[in-house]
Amino acid sequence: MSPEEFRGLFPALRSAVWLDTPGLPPGAAPVTEALHEAVSAWSSGEVDWLAWDAAAADARPLFARLIGADPATVSTLGSLAESAATVAGSLPRGRVVVAAEEFRSNLFPWLARHDVVAVPARDGATRVEDLVAALTGDTVLLAVSEVTSREGQRLDLAALREATDRVGARLFVNLTQSLGALRFDLAAVRPDYLAVHGYKWLLCPRGAAWLVTRPDRLGELTALAPSWKSTSPPHGYFGGPMRPAEDAGRCDTSPAWLSWIGARAALRLVGSLDAGRVERHCLGLARELTEQAARIGFRRVVSGPPSQIVVLRTENADRLAARLRARDIRATALGDRVRFGFHYFNDEDDVRTTLRVLAER
């Protein structure tokens, strides 16, 4: 599917320049149509709740194929925070290293259960070398996001994997701000744990998330909230005993049905795309905005490896964001910066329109 064909699946783009996927993407027609169909069946009384309940199980192999994982290593949960809290509760108590400016759903679950070393930002950015320097022999886990939400920086996961291996620590990787726009090589990085909330670049409704556990770590994985979904299929409803599933399904949470109906449709759509072409397209647009914005005085807040998210420093982010919004350009103000994100549905006209507003001082 070409970028133009993909763009045509998003009705909101007929009137808006959508550069706010780091916060929320517009609804894709195949996803919203699946939701409308479900709600219509619910309203008419023609709903089959067993069919609804199957959506999370259907989405598991779709996600596994997208990430290159065995479905037996994939848990289905409701959020990134649930995924992190599941891992936090499964680990032996110890020292966890995380960036101080990390998104709170990948920070607070560790703070609640472990001794956390929060590595401060330097010159406004999280530095890989600072994360590495914080690792010691008693570190049980390093938690990072491949692309940071606040800076749009793409961290060197290979270097972090090598560093955690040296001290015997586990590596938890959050792909919420990258998977769906950027490719990920699971075999090369070998994270002990990998988590994604699908409501950003994977185009899912909020409430569908995945936790991938490396096979050799499955034995230590315990459920955060054991439920009727914690056993192997077929799932029972009443009485005991509790026999957790032998694979990652033991950490499944009871699914919010509509979220998973939308997630199944979204993964079918995202999975039909050429991942390499998507990444090149997104990075190309981000590079164009970065270079052209620099010519009119706007700089990225970080100088590290680029991602599909461009964060520009500005003296009055709220005023600039309001000016962009007045021109139907969706972006997010974050204190002293404005954040733009490029998906496969964005095009060069989006970049040009945005630059014209940035040039209006």
pLDDT in the model for residue 46? 95
pLDDT in the model for residue 242? 84
Residue 141's nearest CA partner among 90, 97, 181 is 97
Q: Which helix (H) or strand (E) holds 118?
A: strand 115-119
Q: What percent of the chain has pLDDT over 70?
A: 100
Q: Which CATH number fits domain 3-28+274-358: 3.30.365.10, 3.40.50.1820, 2.40.50.220, 3.90.1150.10?
A: 3.90.1150.10
The C-alpha atoms of residue 313 and residue 105 are separated, in whole angstroms, by 24
Inter-residue contact 305 to 156 (CB < 8 Å)? yes
How does residue 304 score in pLDDT terms, banded at 50, 70 and 90? confident
The C-alpha atoms of residue 286 and residue 282 are separated, in whole angstroms, by 6
- Domain residue ranges in the chain: 3-28+274-358, 39-271
How does residue 125 score in pLDDT terms, banded at 50, 70 and 90? confident
The C-alpha atoms of residue 31 and residue 29 are separated, in whole angstroms, by 5
Inter-residue contact 9 to 280 (CB < 8 Å)? no
How does residue 327 score in pLDDT terms, banded at 50, 70 and 90? very high
Q: Which CATH number fits domain 39-271: 3.20.20.70, 3.40.640.10, 3.40.50.300, 3.90.1720.10?
A: 3.40.640.10
Please write the tens of the pLDDT for every residue from 188-225: 999 999 999 999 999 999 999 999 999 999 999 999 99
Inter-residue contact 212 to 218 (CB < 8 Å)? no
Token pair for 205: 């409704």
| Mean pLDDT for the chain overall | 95
pLDDT in the model for residue 226? 92
The C-alpha atoms of residue 292 and residue 340 are separated, in whole angstroms, by 14
